[in-house]
Structures are given as C-alpha cells and as structure tokens.
Structure 1
Amino acid sequence: MSATALVVTHTLIQRDPRVRREVEWLSAEGWVVDTVGLGSENLPEVRTHFPFAPQSQWTRPLPTKAALHLLLPPAARFRVLTASRLPRELSRALKADSYDLVLVNDIALLPVIQDLPETSQSVHIDLHEYHAPDMNLSLRGARLANPVHRWSRAFIGDPRVRSRSTVASGIAEMYRDEFEIEQPVLIRNAPPFEQLTPSAVDDERIELVYHGAAAWERGLRIVIEAMELLPERFRLNLILVGSEQRLADVTKATAELGSRVRIFPPVTVPEIATRINEYDLEVMFYPPATANLRFALPNKLFEAVQARLGIVVGESPMMAQLAREHQNGLVIEGWSATDLANGLSALEAADVRRLKQGSDSAARTLNAAHEREVFLAVVAAFQHH
C-alpha cells in the first residue's frame, strides 16, 4: 500500500516553487499526496486538496479582529481564525493519525499538528527561513499577533515532530541551539538543472543583473548607489517584482543614471535562468540587518548559477562559502556602495569569464536534483509509520 502525505502551506502551491517541488518529489516516489493551501485549484499530482474557506464575515472587521486578539488566548484564537476555515474531515484524518507524513511549511499553521495523537511521529517541518520569537513590530498588528506567533512557533520543538529542514546551515544551527533539537536538514532552494552555457563577455561592457523583489532591505539601493561610482563599462539590468509604488521609487532612484540602468518586467520562475543568461554577474548584496539576511541563501543565487552567471556577494557567510567553494563569485569586504564599487571596478573581462565558468561547473551540483535526494532521504523515514 502506498504511503500517504499531507503537505500543509498557507500559499498558492502553484506559485510556491519550494512547496510545489515537495509535492512533485513525493508523488514521483509513489506517495499519495493531499494538500492544504490557499485557492481551490488542485495540482495534477494531488489526491485531495483542502482549501482554506474564506474568513467568516463576523471576524473580518478590524475592531472584531483586535478584540479577538486581545480577549482570546492563543489556542482559541487559532481555532477561531484559522482551524475553523479548514474542513472537519481534515481534523478527523489527523486525529486518526491517517497520514504517514504531515509536512508543514508555515509556522502559523504548525498548531494543526495538535490534532494528531501525542504518540504520533508523522510530522516534518520545513522551516524555510528563520522565524524570530517576536514578529517585527513595524508590521501592522504585530504587537497583537505576537502571543499567537510565539505559541505557534513553540510547536517547532513538539515531540510529534520527527525531523525538520531549512534553507541554510546557519539558520539550522540557530534552531538547533534554541530548541535543543537535532539540527534541521539543509534543503536549499535550487531550481532544476538547465542546459545552458555561459554567454560571451564583451571586453568593453560588463552586464550586471539584479532580479527578484524590489526590496531596499536586500541591498538594492546600495547596488544603485554603487552604479554612480562605477566606470561606464558597467551596466545594471533590473528585473523586478513589487508594488507599483516600489517600482516607481526604483525608477526615480535610477533616473540620473540614464541608459546605464535598464528596468525590465519579470518573467515566470521556470524562465528566469534562460532570461538572465545573456548577462555576466548577478549582484546579491544583503547587509546583515536580520538573521535571515545574514544567513541568506536565496533562490536567485541558484538561478544565477543555472544561468551561468558569476555572482557578486557581500560577506554573507552562506553565499560567500559557495562563491569560494565553486570559485564562481566575487566576495566584497564591507557593506557600503563604495566597497561594492571598488570590488567590481577591479574586475577585468577575463575575471568575469572565469567566474562564469565556475558557475558552469557548479550548475551540475547546485540544482534541484541534489536537493531532491536529500528530501527523499528525510521522508523515507516516515514510510508506513
């Protein structure tokens, strides 16, 4: 009889590459997969999808929501605002310990495991990034939501959890030390292998690219400021997603650089490597303001490797380690625009070609096939529990 898995997320799985890969990997290995997530659309690999029902009308007004957060203890809050939106048949299946594997992808949804018998050992948590004990108070409603966040987060150490994974070893060590648990397994956000080769490098023009979220906190402003200091032979290509306001802010910030900065519309995730293959260096310069930024090992790094680009990073330990190991990246010392500009200015076209060749070699190991083997080794322990 086939092993059964429930994959739990608070995202649209079709648009979540990491969760979608989990579903595809399980299905390809013969698991029967059910999912919990947003939206009613069912993936072809999935037997049953349990969608979140819309929030009850009476809980939607902000004053009501604030009252619920103020008056109800965390467990009751979760029941009213989250658990009530899921079908009862799902709760019954969990109480019966019907699944060999319950794979939870969101801290906020971890309390669903309390429906499992206390003796169950069927839970794997994919923690993704580091979730601090307190939410960022700059987020609207964070102060009210913090008690339920802390309560949900405590389930990371629940005895029903057999194993855990995360995207970077530095993050895994933080969880290990805080919860006194076995160190979470490293499953990186690497895309599938792409049959590409490094594009030619123009001796007179080095093409930089920054793709992804238009987020100032991820060093985008510093990259733009560095362009003001760089020689004319450098050009920056921005392929950005973000709100209209943020994109307008970026357009304004780059206006004086004229044709030395080009802004392009985004492409779908499977198209990224092919789209950016024409460029030379992907810049990922994340000042370590938070634990997640300090230990960042972002999707875009692996996408840049598959695109056969050299990578330019700061002293972010996870990214710098890969850049040095695969000899495919420039590691900048210091976090200022001047530091970044000075490091880039020293590069000749021959250096760029060498970095791109490093990524060409690295692409054979830094891809989803490697992460798939790690993932399948983890979930094999759950078969027929």
Structure 2
Amino acid sequence: MGDVVTVGFGDAPDGVIEHLAVPSELKTLPQTARGVMRLALRRFRSVELTAPAIAWADAKIGQRKFDLVVANEARVLAWANKIAGEAPLWADMHEWAPEERTHLLSWRLLVAPFMTYLCRRYLPSADFVTTVGQEISNLYRESFGVSAELMRNVGPYVALEPASVLPDRVRLVHSGAAIHGRQLELMIESMKLLDDRFTLDLYLMPGGDGGAYLTQLKELAASDQRVTFHPPVAPANLPATLNQYDVGVFWIPPTHTNARLTLPNKFFDYVQARLMIAVGPSLEMEPLIAEHHLGVVSTGFTSAQCAASLAGLSLSAIESAKSAADKAAKALSFEQESARISPLVQSLLDTTRTAQKEDGR
C-alpha cells in the first residue's frame, strides 16, 4: 500500500522502510515529578507531549510529513495529531483506553482521567478509529461520539492440521503475559479440581512488575507436577507451538471493563493452532465459541465452575472442537480482517493524494 515508517519499542517490524527504536527505559506516560503533579492537578494539556518516550520520538520525527499517521493507543493521540497536520489520522485504540490498567490505584487516580481527556479531545477529529471488539466500539460511540470500526487482534492464517487427541490425556495450554489483573491463578486452582488426565502448560512472559506475579504463579503451582511453565514464544511461532495441545484456556473474571469485554489475540492464536477453546461467559468470546462450535463456556468464573466445564470432556468432543477450529481458521485470520479494513485505509490515502494534487504539491 505504501512505504511505512514506524516508531516504537523493540526491533523493526517486517516490511517497514525505517524504524525509530525508542529506548526501552523511556516511559510513554508523563512519569516525572512535574508530570505527576500536573496529572494530579488535571493540567492535562500541559503534559500531552511530555512523556519521555513521546518527547524523544517527537525530536526524531521533527518536521517530516506523512500521508497517513497511525496512533497506536490513546496515550500517543496528541503527538500523532501534531505530526499528522493535514494528513489523515488513524486512531487504533485496541481496548477501552480509560481502563487500560484500572487494577492499579495510581492509574485510576492519575492516568484514567488523562486517557479520557485525550479521547475526548482527539478522537472526534480522527479520520478513522478502530478497536478490537464490538462492545468496546459501542463504548467509544456512547462516551466520545465516534464510530469505531471493528479490527480484531487476529493473526495470519497458518496451515496446520489438528493434532491427534490422546485417549488418556487432556493437554490444556495458555499463552500470554503474566499480568496480575488477569487472575491467571484461576487456571492453577481449577487444575486442583480436575483428575489426573489433565495437564496444564503455560507459556508466559513477565508483566511490567519485573516478573513478580509470574513467580507467584510458579509458587502456587509448585506442588502440582501436571503444571509446567515454559519460556514465552514469539507470536509468529505460537500456533505451531500450541498445536501439540488439546485445549486453549482463558478464564478472565469481569473485574473491569476490558476484562469484561476482552477478545484477546490468544483466542485467535488458539484457533490457528487448531485447539478446542475453553473460556468463561465473556461477552465477546462466548458468541464466537457458539458460532463456530469451538469449545466450552463455563457458567461462571470460580475455579469450580471452570473445572466443571472441562471435567466431562470426551475424546470425541475435543476432536470435534479442534476440527471446527480448523474449519474456522481462514475466517478468523488476519487476511480476512485486512480484506475488510484495507479498502477503508486506502480511501484515506486516496483522499490525501487528491488534496495534494489540488494544492499543486
């Protein structure tokens, strides 16, 4: 579609012509003494561009011009709006920004009001807004008056076959980040209520707490030899790694808005891995389970309810769900999602080029 320049942490994504790697120690929020004071005083406009990572990126970009600017999450909305100038702005919001880390008191008191301010100030003027689920899209419309297109966290289609199911073993697996608010201990507690057929393998990367929560999970599971922790796997390799298992599990109690409305990338990783999927009664995931016959939904989020949804699984039920995942893999892939979104993005680029021609540029 065009030449892409990226600004962000880590290595350059595939396919870009230039990547400005933000130093890993820089924060994306105004986490300085002056910044925190201004957040507390609700002087939000004065800290829009002062986060260390944003200030660094702004200096690197300088006066460069672009045909389209993509803001990846609310915290960079003000900066993206600045560098976009007259070019279209695509606000890719992912989840519900005001409650991104609502399990932290400092977030609720200082950052959530700032996120709400950024959304209210900049989203209505964005040319294109996307988010990961329909319920979250509804929230952005109701709260900020914007129409957000659905763009789910789906990965590319992977040509795999469902792995054979063992007659005396049910191999559960979970992948993702060890973030306290996700209550991953629920999986370990549920294992204590399941018989010896069940094993649980966890591919977890440490969260922002330096790995403290991951250590707690390992201590909680230390007495159960059926629970195994593995190093995290690169996203591109996840489907092939997970393919050896039977059931991808993700039970997240609805303790805040993003948990209640979650539709995470791991759900689609499980589909590409050709796994049965086990979730709780989550508003976005449950309908997809039912539509594509992908697995089981617990009646609630206690360990007893989660374990009960798995306890009676038969070999044929697991095989049927894995086969259903195989049938749904193309429909629930990035290729299908991008086929819907790409024409909308192309229309923004076409508008820019038309305006440039009219201006004689």
Q: Give your verdict on TM over 0.5.
A: yes
- Between the aligned partners of 2:24 and 2:307, the Cα distance in structure 1 is 49
- Between the aligned partners of 1:92 and 1:115, the Cα distance in structure 2 is 10
Task: Say if 2:200 is the partner of 1:236.
Answer: yes
Which residue is 1:35 aligned to?
Answer: 6
Which residue is 2:72 aligned to?
Answer: 105
CA contact (8 A) 1:52 1:85 kept: yes
Which residue is 2:139 aligned to?
Answer: 174
Which residue is 2:359 aligned to?
Answer: none
Q: Pick one of 30, 34, 43 that aligns with 1:73.
A: 43
Shift of residue 250 of structure 1? 1.3
Structure 1 gaps, min length 5: 1-28
Q: Pick one of 102, 105, 130 that aligns with 1:165.
A: 130
Q: 1:198 to 1:70 in 2, by over 3 A?
A: closer
- Between the aligned partners of 2:200 and 2:174, the Cα distance in structure 1 is 8
Look up the SS of the partner of 2:307 in the other structure.
helix
Deviations 1:338-362 (A, max 9, x none): 1111111121111111111111111
Look up the SS of the partner of 1:229 in the other structure.
coil
- Between the aligned partners of 1:300 and 1:61, the Cα distance in structure 2 is 30
Q: 1:51 to 1:157 in 2, by over 3 A?
A: same
Which residue is 1:354 aligned to?
Answer: 320
Higher mean displacement: 372-381 or 73-82: 73-82
CA contact (8 A) 2:154 2:334 kept: yes
Which residue is 1:382 aligned to?
Answer: 348
Q: 1:85 to 1:208 in 2, by over 3 A?
A: same
- Between the aligned partners of 2:231 and 2:3, the Cα distance in structure 1 is 38
Q: 1:318 to 1:144 in 2, by over 3 A?
A: closer
What is the CA RMSD across the aligned residues, in angstroms?
A: 2.9
CA contact (8 A) 2:130 2:149 kept: yes
- Between the aligned partners of 1:372 and 1:134, the Cα distance in structure 2 is 25
CA contact (8 A) 1:205 1:234 kept: yes
- Normalising by structure 2, report the TM-score: 0.85
Which residue is 1:251 aligned to?
Answer: 218
Look up the SS of the partner of 1:255 in the other structure.
coil
CA contact (8 A) 1:134 1:149 kept: no
Which residue is 2:357 aligned to?
Answer: none
CA contact (8 A) 1:135 1:149 kept: no
Higher mean displacement: 141-150 or 283-292: 141-150
Q: Which amino acid counterpart does residue 66 of structure 2 have in structure 1? A: Y
- Between the aligned partners of 1:49 and 1:122, the Cα distance in structure 2 is 20
Shift of residue 145 of structure 1? 4.2
Look up the SS of the partner of 1:382 in the other structure.
helix
CA contact (8 A) 2:75 2:118 kept: yes
Look up the SS of the partner of 1:380 in the other structure.
helix
Percent of matched pairs sharing the same residue: 28
CA contact (8 A) 1:133 1:153 kept: no
Q: 1:196 to 1:48 in 2, by over 3 A?
A: closer
Look up the SS of the partner of 1:239 in the other structure.
strand
- Between the aligned partners of 1:103 and 1:61, the Cα distance in structure 2 is 24
Shift of residue 71 of structure 1? 7.0
- Between the aligned partners of 2:186 and 2:49, the Cα distance in structure 1 is 44
Higher mean displacement: 99-108 or 238-247: 238-247
Shift of residue 170 of structure 1? 1.0
Which residue is 2:90 aligned to?
Answer: 124
Q: 1:53 to 1:319 in 2, by over 3 A?
A: closer
Q: Which amino acid counterpart does residue 115 of structure 1 have in structure 2? A: K
Which residue is 1:304 aligned to?
Answer: 270
Higher mean displacement: 287-296 or 130-139: 130-139
Look up the SS of the partner of 2:7 in the other structure.
strand
Task: Say if 2:284 is the partner of 1:318.
Answer: yes
Which residue is 1:209 aligned to?
Answer: 173
Q: 1:356 to 1:176 in 2, by over 3 A?
A: same
Look up the SS of the partner of 1:256 in the other structure.
coil
CA contact (8 A) 2:96 2:257 kept: yes
What is the aligned residue count? 345
CA contact (8 A) 1:53 1:86 kept: no
